[in-house]
Structure 1
């Protein structure tokens, strides 16, 4: 794999690659490992017990960054419509589909390498690790604004 110089990916005041991870032709790696979810015990516990809450907050934070260009002052808020939809789908065994789609959107925002197959496996096999990894990626950008 050949790597390009890293431009820092600063956009509208935030940095989408805070750890300055080298960007290859197919993107970069995640800022935090997939199995590093225990380093963020609060998010990991919430994602284990109530994945719909973690998903809803993630979706809201991601949308706020995309639409407003700034971190969400409510840090994802509380019970959102996305949380409720995820809860219903999870009770039927299909919550992983929403998570897979959000993971793809997050990978795209941060130019992270991977594909739909990996997103599907991550969402279906280890929901708490997947949600925590994505939350930590978004949090790095939010922190780069300096006022979060």
Structure 2
């Protein structure tokens, strides 16, 4: 004996959950070197070494800034996106291209202030 089941009402999927994430500003300004003089001096004295340190703090390979063109722009965008900071790829590119050491210092301060030194 065969039994046939007829579905008369389709199940309704639950409504999607929408989460609004508020973007914020950077915790320090681009030229906020007085907020962390040691990093500022390190960043200005040896920008490539400091960029490697910032890259590691952001969870990327420390060689990326030296070996990959535009790596610091990508790292800035990663940090900004993960921490919900206002900005755009265009602004990241302009800031890093015009003032790379200041950008790296700001990234370092942001990771220290928001993530206890390491971006997860």
TM-score by length of 2: 0.69
Query: Is the alpha carbon distance of 1:51 and 1:131 closer, same or farther for their aligned partners in structure 2, counting shifts above 3 Å?
Result: same
Identify the residue that residue 88 of structure 2 maps to in structure 1.
115
SS at match of 2:58: helix
Q: CA deviation at 1:114?
A: 0.6
Identify the residue that residue 34 of structure 2 maps to in structure 1.
38
Identify the residue that residue 79 of structure 2 maps to in structure 1.
106
Structure-2 separation of matches of 1:39 and 1:127: 18
Task: Count matched residues.
Answer: 97
Identify the residue that residue 60 of structure 1 maps to in structure 2.
56
Identify the residue that residue 13 of structure 2 maps to in structure 1.
none
Structure 1 residue ranges without an equivalent (≥5): 1-8, 10-22, 65-80
1:128 aligns to 2:108 (yes or no): no
Larger deviation: 39-48 or 111-120?
Answer: 39-48
Give 1 or 2: higher strand fraction. 1
Q: CA deviation at 1:48?
A: 1.5
Pair member with larger Rg: 2
Identify the residue that residue 11 of structure 2 maps to in structure 1.
none
Q: CA deviation at 1:88?
A: 5.4
TM-score by length of 1: 0.57
Q: Which of 44, 48, 51 lines up with 1:48 in the alignment?
A: 44
Structure-2 separation of matches of 1:121 and 1:53: 21
